[in-house]
Structure 1
Amino acid sequence: MKKWVKLAITSAAVLAFAAGCGNKAATDESGSASTDASKEEVTVKLGIIGADTDVWDDVKDRLQEEGINLEYVKFTEYSQPNSALASGDIDLNSFQHQYFLDNFNEEHGTDLVSIGNTVNAPLGIYSEKIKDISEIKDGDKVAIPNDVTNGGRALLLLQTAGLIKVDEAAKQAPTVSDITDNPKNLEIVELEASQTARALQDVTVSVINSGMAVDAGFVPKEDAIYLEPVDDTSRPYVNIIAARKEDEDNEVYKKVVAAYQTEETAKVIEETSKGSSIPAWETFGKK
């Protein structure tokens, strides 16, 4: 009987020890799961224009590894993403150059800032009717964007192409009324930037922003009959990632910029744009 009692006690102790180890293992596993669950994914809403997200898709995949979910909010008009950013409907946007942002802030009393350079995307002149800029004839119609910054940039491009001259006093923002010489009597048609590619059937040439041209199926470097040169005068037109002033030093947003400004992204930009867009942080600095 004493032997049986001792055996029973010993067996119970062994079972208790095993159960304790099992409970500890379960606790460890539960604790680990709890820790993993505590690593909640952060969502960043990014405002963009157009349908082309190839470059950002690559960035998005890498950000996912850091627990950052990049959510696209797509807009169709250039007037929309900054208003959405200022109101807090989105966290960042990436669609504009610095000059456009500066002008928007001045006109709307907002305080949006650039937190990182993305690409330089040269403006192009496109046509379905002619193959060379020299073929433009007297009285031909030319479509340009109707917003102040891109319209002014388009007029400066037409001047660089030798088609018109504009008043130097207008600097980076000439309007049609600032044209001082128009030897071919070109008819300048001002349209929403999103309509400039669609207008190609109705005009001889159209000045189209790079993103809109890509969405329309063009490869700027191959299909434009005249492409904006890239030099020191291009700096105001470097595309950027914008945020609200109070979020300028947000650590999560800094990670978004860092994930963009990488060699991996530069390769995707080269492949998807076929050399038409240039990684701006490599040429003009990160910010």
Structure 2
Amino acid sequence: MKKKGIIALALTAALALGALTGCGSTTAKETPGSTDAAAETAKASETAGSEAAGSETAVSGETRVVKLGLTGVIYEDIWNPIKEELAKEGIDLEYVQFSDYSLPNEALNAGEIDINAFQHHAYFNNDVEKNGYDITPIADTFIIAMNLYSDKVKSVDEIKDGDVIAIPDDASNGGRALKVLASAGLITLKAEAGANPTVADIDTYNVKIEIKEMGAADIPSVLPDVTAAVVNGNYALDYGIDPSTAIFEEKDYDDDSYFCLMAVRSSDADDAVYKRIVELFQSETTKQIFQDEFNGYFVPAWEVQK
């Protein structure tokens, strides 16, 4: 599997965010073109431009700075072609790396950055409701697939009564993992189970498996000790697990809960420059990066049918 050294470094340095937000690691390593988050949060940036700002920039010849909040240097590989194209159009996309997943939405709401891209809808909805942020999603970016892997069996059909299946123990990823097991036919969830079901929401064990709940970051390391495990895509990537070896792949999405997104302040949702950024991200170039640099772990969310 092709994987740059910086990817492994970034993911090994901080794994907690992926388990909670579903969209990456927490590395805030300063790189060329990036601004350290600690310095950024100490000062407010200029207010984002109006819808006409893009055309005004082109006419005046002035460069408009757009500060993008990220939570891991691995994502700069995705954004660099977009940054280069925007530079030709008089827009300087400046990376602002955050070491704590709780900060990018706060910084966006406060006007310290202009746009962020680090979280899925489930996390966004909870964070906005809890903190009252006046921010809004403007586009879906990608899904990091959560698949079922095994060192002991070659297919789901080989799983038998008494086998142990490991899943994450946090609400967001644990519920998602149970949905994967349900899609694989191993369990049936109660009809009234919510967006984040728990083990208590299992209606039927179609195969009498034992579900072992544990920290999402630890699951890849116990693959030799369990029959199978539902592994977060970022942790699978970090451990060098080839996605083609999954015995069951997450494919069905009945909503956008696990779709990662870009967010801006609500007042800037119609900004022409941000619309241009969305257009450049949701492109064949980005899809090729997903395949070439991340071995297909990232799925283009804008093309997935819910």
What is the TM-score with the length of structure 1 in the denominator?
A: 0.70
Question: What is the CA-CA distance between 1:113 and the residue it aligns to?
Answer: 1.7
1:228 counterpart (247, 250, 260): 250
1:238 counterpart (259, 263, 286): 259
2:94 counterpart (70, 73, 78): 70
Question: 1:198-217, aligned counterparts within 5 Å?
Answer: 198-200=221-223, 203-217=226-240
CA offsets 1:136-155 (integer angstroms, 9 cap, x no match): 45151412251x33322211
Asked whether the equivalents of residues 140 and 301 of structure 2 are also in contact (C-alpha less than 8 Å), the reply is yes
CA offsets 1:69-121 (integer angstroms, 9 cap, x no match): 2314154x755544554455543332333233223333443343211121244
2:140 counterpart (117, 138, 147): 117
Question: 1:131 is paired with a residue of what secondary structure?
Answer: coil
One-letter amino acid matched to 2:248: Y
Q: C-alpha separation between the residues in 1 aligned to 2:264 and 2:114?
A: 7
Question: What is the CA-CA distance between 1:157 and the residue it aligns to?
Answer: 0.8
1:94 matched to 2:114: no
Asked whether the equivalents of residues 219 and 273 of structure 1 are also in contact (C-alpha less than 8 Å), the reply is no
Q: C-alpha separation between the residues in 1 aligned to 2:131 and 2:225?
A: 34
Asked whether the equivalents of residues 169 and 214 of structure 2 are also in contact (C-alpha less than 8 Å), the reply is yes
Query: Where does residue 256 of structure 1 map in the other structure?
Result: 277
Q: C-alpha separation between the residues in 2 aligned to 1:131 and 1:50?
A: 34
Asked whether the equivalents of residues 143 and 300 of structure 2 are also in contact (C-alpha less than 8 Å), the reply is yes
More moved, 113-122 vs 77-86 = 77-86
Question: What is the CA-CA distance between 1:58 and the residue it aligns to?
Answer: 2.4
Return closer, same or farther for 1:184/1:282 CA change in 2, 3 Å cut-off.
Answer: closer
Question: 1:28-39, aligned counterparts within 5 Å?
Answer: 39=62
Question: What is the CA-CA distance between 1:180 and the residue it aligns to?
Answer: 2.5
Query: Where does residue 47 of structure 1 map in the other structure?
Result: 70
Query: Where does residue 267 of structure 1 map in the other structure?
Result: 288
Q: C-alpha separation between the residues in 2 aligned to 1:200 and 1:89?
A: 42
Larger fraction in helix: 1
Query: Where does residue 208 of structure 2 map in the other structure?
Result: 184
Question: What is the CA-CA distance between 1:227 and the residue it aligns to?
Answer: 0.6
Question: 1:167-178, aligned counterparts within 5 Å?
Answer: 167-178=190-201
Q: C-alpha separation between the residues in 2 aligned to 1:50 and 1:151?
A: 26
Return closer, same or farther for 1:43/1:109 CA change in 2, 3 Å cut-off.
Answer: closer
Q: C-alpha separation between the residues in 2 aligned to 1:284 and 1:185?
A: 31
Question: What is the CA-CA distance between 1:42 and the residue it aligns to?
Answer: 0.9
Return closer, same or farther for 1:265/1:273 CA change in 2, 3 Å cut-off.
Answer: same
Q: Which has the larger radius of gyration?
A: 1
Question: What is the CA-CA distance between 1:56 and the residue it aligns to?
Answer: 2.0
The sequence identity of aligned pairs, in percent, is 33
Unmatched runs of 5 consecutive residues or more in structure 1: 1-36
Q: C-alpha separation between the residues in 2 aligned to 1:80 and 1:176?
A: 31
Q: C-alpha separation between the residues in 1 aligned to 2:194 and 2:61?
A: 54
Query: Where does residue 103 of structure 1 map in the other structure?
Result: 126
Query: Where does residue 152 of structure 1 map in the other structure?
Result: 175
Q: Over aligned residue pairs, what C-alpha RMSD do you find?
A: 3.4
